[in-house]
Structure 1
Amino acid sequence: MAVNVETLEKLERKITLTLPVNVIQSEVDARLRKLARQVKMDGFRPGKVPLNVVAQRYGYSVQYEVMNDKVGEAFASAANEAKLRVAGQPRITEKEGAPEGELSFDAIFEVYPEVKIADLSGAEVEKINAEVTDDAIDRTVDILRKQRRTFAQRAQDAAAQDGDRVTVDFEGKIDGETFQGGKADDFQFLVGEGQMLKEFEDAVRGMKSGESKTFPLSFPADYHGKDVAGKQADFLVTVKKIEAAHLPEVNEALAKSLGIPDGTVDALRADIRKNLEREVKFRLQSRNKQAVMDALVAKAELDIPNSSVQAEIDRMVESARADLKQRGIKDADKAPIPDDVFRPQAERRVRLGLVVAELVRTHELQAKPEQIKSHIEDLAASYEKPADVVRWYYGDNRRLAEVEAIVIENNVTEFVLGKAKVTDKAISFDELMGQQG
């Protein structure tokens, strides 16, 4: 029998479902009989509880279950018959005035839209690229040396300079009152590395061991300590010890300490280059993927299902609450988070998801097993025991699904770049890694 599908607006549809009462009743009876054989009730031996007693106790809940199941089956069957791609859950309400011996229900629901993607040859995409330079390798070597530096006490009359580790006592006061976090003894920090506010570092730089100094310090308006943000304090600081840093030489000993098997400096630099190139590859993929997705959204025409948007908003609100809870916010699960905060982002995600799915379906851009394997091996390569990391990914279907989604997006990115008007733009390694200035 043909299913009558009524269009309400845009993606909203309605179909009427009809169920014979006797089919529901016979299923209720069958479930109650099965329950009677299993249920335990005071005063009756197991399996010997009379059917009418079971029906009295459980009849309503069994009736409710059966109705839910049968209406769900009828809806799925009708949607399948009408070849509808249903988005979200239907809203089902019972209709009045059904014929004798029948129950009638209205099911209102949304369908997935038809996605129209304009000719991608008209899309303009800026594709960035970047190279790993010798300078980037030099700076990485310096970072590795700093991580392995040692300290030796300077002479009594030596002045503190950048790179030194100083041990100080300090006390700060605002309007003559000491404030929380404003006092410490035997406090260590490295001069010139931004561990302290600039005015504090400037005051200590040039001081000698045993010297004391008072100086004013203005806390920035956006300082993390809300009680002192934007206020001026007076500090007394006493330098107790100054230690000079010693960085290890760039030699075979350093290479070996960093796990380079043949222990040569060339092999160390080659290993650093390989790791930086892997990071550059991932960052370029991410940035170029974003540019492609922006172009795709601009080229696509579709209505988006409200139910899908609401489901995405619910996920984002849940994630925000989990984040607040992790940060120790009290009653994070009850925090009032209005849907509208996430609506634009949720709508974009749903729109993009539908457009990507359409491209994947029409151009067979699914993730191939060998692509998933290659991506996981790339991710694992920077770890000490790559084989363990590979096993970790393959040991969990959820983690595998996350990798598969990334590979699909990469496939879509490559497909669009192959069709669009692409402008290549070279950027510096520092700009890509977010180290401008």
Structure 2
Amino acid sequence: MQVSVEAGEGLERRMKIDLPFEQVSDEVEKRLQKYARSARLPGFRPGKVPMKVLRKRYGEQLHHEVLADMVQSSFMEALNQESLQPAGMPHIEPDFDLQEQRVGFTATFEVMPEFELGSVADKVVKRPVAEVADADLDAMIQRLREQRKAWNPVERAAEKGDQLTISFTGTVDGEAFEGGSSSGVTLELGSGRMIPGFEEGLVGAAPGESRVLDLTFPDPYQATHLAGKPVRFEVMVDAVAEPALPEVDAEFVKGFGVEDGDVERFMSDVRANMERELKDRIQARTKERVMDALLEANEIAVPEALVEQEIKAMGEQMRQAMGGAEMQLPSELFADAARRRVALGLILGKVVKDNDITADEGRVRKMVEEMASTYEQPQAVIDYYYGDRSRLSQVETSVLEEQVVELILEQVKVEDEPLSFDALTRSESASDQAAA
């Protein structure tokens, strides 16, 4: 077997493999001999077809079959011979000519990048420092009360925060448009559900009052044919209701699973959940900044094959999150994030290998137990993870990443960044939405 390798653009390689014609012919001959024992052709008894006839009739076909079978084995052998690590499946171009006794193929593929880790000693990582203050707990309780608020009808002018029941008709250039009219719609003033000016224009309106709102659709707008156009809404206010927040009492906390109605225990549980969330946010923000530092120190080429795989995986993940909807999502939507993930995967793998890091079993157990603690039957969740190696490996990967983060934090310059609970969780939530 003769092997030659040419470097293409970036990580692309073209490997030309010439197979010994005699080796292919010998294998063809073996298959012919085996087939001859039971071959049936018109004019010949079973198993008595002359080899010359079989060779003429099936020779070329068998050469193709043998070559196809030998491609995989010879490709793997050639990779080992040339010390190449492919990043994806190769594109195979056969080179087959019986007259010239030439059999071979060319495999085009990308290789995994080879690199040495860059130093992060000059990188600065800002690590958030925050705690759950009493004011944060009060604000959280207030949000929970808002979630359970009731609406009481009032006979007064509407104020921001009130809920209106309205009927409306919208026209553009004097003509009604699809989706521009409805009745019995409930709308909380200040919710931002409607186009700019709509909700503001209903402040001060009383039950039974009608108002005309001359507004303009935003540009851009989801309905592109309406973007930037002036619109008139004729609105009838059918009813006005004001919010009524529940008291934080036994009945209220029972609605959140505290069956005995113990308010103090409820407050303690809420604070514990907030502290757990804060810890996760701090770890996530710190990890993200460590990853940024690693990327800055290691500007590596990434195989496009792996990026494409990641794009497909992210697209499928989004489709599943949307209920398995059948839709074609543009690759550009995931391209940057996919490239970042692939690069980080290669860099993290190098860090793990160079530093001989293995997932700490104790930390794996602790992570599983922490996840299980939020369920009604923690032991069942623990058994679920430890009962399947593939599920446990996902936890081990997370632990490995934590260990890498700790290692890098020892090598970079760490600066504490004081933040409030609200600032940290609000900014993280915004980042999550943008990423989604």
TM-score, structure 2 normalization: 0.77
Q: Is 1:361 matched with 2:345?
A: no
What is the one-letter code of the residue matched to 2:179? G
- Establish whether residue 145 from structure 1 lines up as the match of residue 137 from structure 2: no
Count residues with an aligned counterpart.
Answer: 423
C-alpha deviation, 1:19, in angstroms: 4.0
Question: What's the offset of the Cα at 1:183?
Answer: 1.3
Which amino acid in 1 is paired with 2:133? T
SS in 1 for 2:426: coil
Q: Report 1:269-308 matches (<5 A).
A: 269-300=267-298, 302=300, 304=301, 308=303
SS at match of 2:169: strand
Instruction: Go from structure 1 to structure 2 and tell me whether the alpha carbon gap of 1:225 and 1:91 turns closer, same or farther (over 3 Å shift).
Output: closer
Distance 1:75 1:101 in 2: 20
Q: Deviations over 1:350-380 (max 9, x none)?
A: 4332221111011123334444444344445
Give the conservation status (yes or no) of the 8 Å contact 1:88–1:109. yes
Give the deviation of 1:115 after TM superposition. Answer: 1.8
Give the CA deviation at 1:187: 1.1
Report what 1:418 is aligned to. Answer: 410
Distance 1:327 1:252 in 2: 37
Give the stretch that moved more between structures: 57-66 or 424-433.
Answer: 57-66
Query: Structure 1 residues 5 and 113 mapped into 2: Cα distance closer, same or farther (>3 Å)?
Result: farther
Question: How far apart are residue 141 of structure 1 and its match?
Answer: 1.6
- Structure 2 counterpart of 1:179, from 172, 177, 185: 177
Q: Distance in 1 between matches of 2:26 and 2:169?
A: 83
Give the unaligned 5+ runs of structure 1: none
Q: How far apart are the structure 2 equivalents of 1:32 and 1:247?
A: 87
Question: Residue 313 of structure 1 corresponds to which residue in structure 2?
Answer: 308
| 2:117 is the counterpart of 1:125 | no
Aligned to 1:226: 224
> What residue number does 1:167 align with?
165
Distance 1:344 1:236, change over 3 A: closer
Which residue in the other structure is 2:75 paired with? 75
Q: Deviations over 1:13-56 (max 9, x none)?
A: 676655444544454566678889999x999xxx9998989989
Given that 1:125 and 1:421 are in contact with CA atoms closer than 8 Å, whether structure 2 keeps it comes out as: yes
2:55 and 2:151 mapped to 1: Cα distance?
82
Matched with 1:432 is 424
Displacement of 1:199 in angstroms is 2.2
SS of equivalent to 1:186: strand
Give the distance between the partners of 2:181 and 2:62, measured in 1 at CA.
Answer: 69
Task: Name the aligned partner's letter for residue 194 of structure 1.
Answer: G
CA shift in 2, pair 1:213/1:343, >3 Å: closer
Does the 8 Å CA contact 1:164/1:243 hold for their aligned counterparts? yes
Question: 1:422 deviation in Å?
Answer: 1.3
Q: Which moved more, 1:51-60 or 1:135-144?
A: 51-60
The 1:332–1:214 alpha-carbon spacing in structure 2 relative to 1, beyond 3 Å, is closer
From the superposition, tell whether residues 103 and 198 of structure 1 become closer, same or farther in structure 2 (CA, over 3 Å).
closer
| Amino acid in structure 1 at the alignment position of 2:159 | Q
**Residue 342 of structure 1: CA displacement?**
6.9
Q: Is the 8 A contact 2:164 2:189 kept in 1?
A: yes
User: Is it true that 1:351 corresponds to 2:346 in the alignment?
Assistant: no
Aligned runs of 1:39-54 on 2, under 5 Å?
Answer: none
- Give, in angstroms, the shift of residue 62 of structure 1: 5.5
CA distance in 2, matches of 1:18, 1:204: 80
Deviation at 1:137, TM superposition (A): 2.2
- 1:244–1:49: structure 2 CA closer, same or farther, 3 Å change rule? farther
Q: CA separation in 2, counterparts of 1:403 and 1:350?
A: 19
Partner of 2:85: 85
Equivalent-residue separation in structure 2 for 1:415 and 1:398 (angstroms) = 26
> Match for residue 206 of structure 2?
208
Q: Is the 8 A contact 1:5 1:13 kept in 2?
A: no
Percent of paired sites with the same residue: 34
Q: Letter of the 2:308 partner, please give it.
A: I
**1:171–1:134: structure 2 CA closer, same or farther, 3 Å change rule?**
same
Distance 1:237 1:372 in 2: 59
CA distance in 1, matches of 2:113, 2:106: 21
Per mean C-alpha deviation after superposition, the further-off stretch among 27-36 and 132-141 is 27-36
Aligned to 2:434: none
Change over 3 Å in CA distance of 1:56–1:312 after alignment to 2: farther
Cα deviation, residue 326, structure 1: 9.1
TM-score, normalising length from structure 1? Answer: 0.77
- CA-to-partner distance for each residue in 1:156-175, whole Å, 9 max, x for gaps? x3222233322111122222
Shift of residue 66, structure 1, vs aligned partner: 3.1
CA contact (8 A) 1:309 1:350 kept: no
| Conserved? CA contact 1:115–1:301, under 8 Å | no
In the TM superposition, 1:103-122 aligns within 5 A as 103=103, 110-122=110-122
- Per-residue deviation, 1:409: 2.5
Asked if the contact 2:307/2:342 (under 8 Å) is kept, the reply is yes
Where structure 2 has 5 or more consecutive residues not aligned to the other structure, the ranges are 431-436
Q: Is the 8 A contact 1:260 1:268 kept in 2?
A: yes
